Amino acid sequence: MAVEGIQNICVVGAGNMGHQIALGAAISGFTVKCTDVKPEMLKKAEDFTNSYLAGRVAKGKMSEDQAKAARANITFTSDLKEAAGDADLVIEAILEILELKRKVFKQLDEICPPYTILASNSSFIVSSKFVDVTGRPDKVCNMHYFNPALVMKLVEVVQGPHTSDETVRKVMAVCKALDKVPVHLTKEVEGFLVNRVIRAITEEALWLYDMGVASTEDIDKALMYGLGHPMGAFRLMDLTGIDLSYIMGMEKYRETGDPRHKPSPAIVEKYVKGEYGEKTGKGWYDYTKK
């Protein structure tokens, strides 16, 4: 499914979300350049791409020709100018730190052609907070994927007061071409749709744990078998990264100064220990035996 005016996609950030977003676009037939300032992240992203495609072929989910075509569609580079210089759409997927995003969007605005759409995969920072560093406010929006990006269907497309209807139309069309299910937020709200609901559930789950009311395992069981959730709040944090929960909490606290927004003591303890969840082998649960 072609999208008018969109063929070359640049993904900035080769971490867990970034490299999956890039690979998904390559599989869907877009020409993709994935970039990161850290060579080791690019190496991991390229290794993942090769192993994922080989695995799909081995399982009969993809033909050899399809895998070869997808691999030919994606390249990896540490040179931002090389990656974004001819992009029709840029998807930023770096750390959830506002000043970093402002720096990157300023660079992208200087590098990219005037027609390039600049989208952020941020899970809670609205584009109004960095659009002023660009000279193309009508072409800036949020395009929020969910983890794991290759599997999860939903993408939240958030239209800021500066974002044109045409930009939204094109981004929604790209999502559909990627076999995603986009939802259109017609106004900005911190946390968007899903994370506002999840945050309320997670904060309550953490309070119950911090107060010694129940264990993480039993709270997760209650959410799964009482509310029908596919996984509990603690298991979900392990999947998305406890470090992300900490960073998001601290960013919110810095912004508001409200102590209620400080991360839970249990989150802080996990963050200090480096127990971020699946990616480190241990979080609320132990994954070292897998």
Residue for token pair 């941020």: 122
For the question of residue 123 being annotated catalytic, the response is: yes
Question: Which one of the listed residues 73, 195, 245, 264 is annotated catalytic?
Answer: 195
Tell me how crowded residue 121 is: count the other CB atoms within 10 A of its CB: 23
Identify the burial level of 158 via C-beta atoms within 10 angstroms of its C-beta, where 0-12 means exposed, 13-18 middle and 19 or more buried: buried
Q: Which residues contact 240 (CB under 8 A, 6 or more apart)?
A: 147, 277
Taking the C-alpha atoms of residue 79 and residue 31, their distance in angstroms, rounded to an integer, is 17
Torsion of CA 189, 190, 191, 196, to 10 degrees: -70
Write down the catalytic residue from 28, 123, 142, 245. 123
* Beta strand pairing call for 154-158 and 181-185: parallel
In the residue annotation, 156 being an active-site residue is answered as yes
Strand 8-12 versus strand 89-92 pairing type: parallel
Q: How many CA atoms lie within 13 A of 7 on its CB side?
A: 3
Q: Is 144 a catalytic site residue?
A: yes
Q: Known catalytic residues?
A: 123, 144, 156, 195
